[in-house]
Amino acid sequence: MDKLVLFDIDGTLIGGKHGHPKSFGDAIKAIHNIDFEVDWRDVQGMTDQQILTEGLLKKGISKEIIQENMDKYMIEMKKSFNKSIVNSTIHLFEGVKDLIIKLKSGDVLLGLVTGNLVSIAQAKLEKLSLWKYFDVGGFGSDDISRTVLVKLAIKRAEENFGFKFDNNVFLFGDAPQDMKAGKEAGVKTIGVTTGIYSKEQLENAGADFLLEDLKNTEKVLKIIL
């Protein structure tokens, strides 16, 4: 396989309402008995560990205590999200399934780079019958830095599939943080305006290519293949 295509999840592949924001509050309540709410629009592009860390620092919890409890937070988040996924209203954006199937049928490795914990990412995409298409990933449970997640996905492709990194990795995302992480990791970035950010914001963050959405499969394939 001579190309690796990486996708962000929320705002890039899927939309709709789910219990992910609530899972942060449930986790913090369980560990610290502190009320904690996440405005989903304010944390777009952030990793779950980053959201937890920045939010708890504002609540007066020290960085040392946050780091000590990070695994516990993630366990509680998984519990909370698994309870809510059945009643979520998430959906794939138009064109996503066709694009994934087309790429999968070619000589392309597919991966995920998402701030979601791996358990939450898997639950979302399994509900939409999409998880099975992805070979590798970098997840919010792996590290706080999105740039590290891009590098991890590439490393896993190299270790598990004999992939050779040579100007042949593409990262799709809807947030400036996706574009910045991709540039820092040395990959080609494709900004998609299916989230809350504009073409201008994605371009300013370093997007190599810009798309309004993923509806036109052939247009997208021309960038990659």
pLDDT at 197 over 90: yes
Question: What is the domain extent for residue 63?
Answer: 20-86
> Which one of 36, 65, 86 terminates a domain?
86
| Rounded-to-10 torsion of CA 75, 127, 115, 27 | -30
> Which one of 86, 108, 135 terminates a domain?
86
Same domain? 60 vs 146: no
Same domain? 204 vs 97: yes
pLDDT at 93 over 90: yes
> Which one of 68, 86, 104 terminates a domain?
86
Same domain? 46 vs 98: no
Q: Supply the pTM of this predicted model.
A: 0.97
Instruction: Give dist(CA 6, CA 171) in Å, integer.
Output: 5
Average pLDDT, the chain: 97
What percentage of the chain has pLDDT greater than the value 70?
100
Give the count of beta carbons closer than 10 Å to the beta carbon of residue 164: 11
Given a contact cutoff of 8 angstroms between Cβ atoms, the answer to whether 53 and 63 are in contact is: yes
Model pLDDT, residue 41: 87
Instruction: Give dist(CA 130, CA 93) in Å, integer.
Output: 12
Number of residues that this document lists for the chain: 225
Same domain? 25 vs 106: no
pLDDT at 1 over 80: no
CA end-to-end span of the chain: 12
Task: Identify the CA nearest to 145 among candidates 111, 113, 187, 190.
Answer: 113
Which CATH number is 125's domain given?
3.40.50.1000
Instruction: Give dist(CA 106, CA 85) in Å, integer.
Output: 32
Same domain? 82 vs 93: no
Q: What is the DSSP string of 180-192?
A: HHHHHHT-EEEEE
Q: Give the burial string for 124-151 (b: 16+ CB within 10 Å, else e).
A: bbebeebeeebbbbbbbbbbbbbbbbbb
Same domain? 65 vs 100: no
Same domain? 72 vs 166: no
Same domain? 192 vs 165: yes
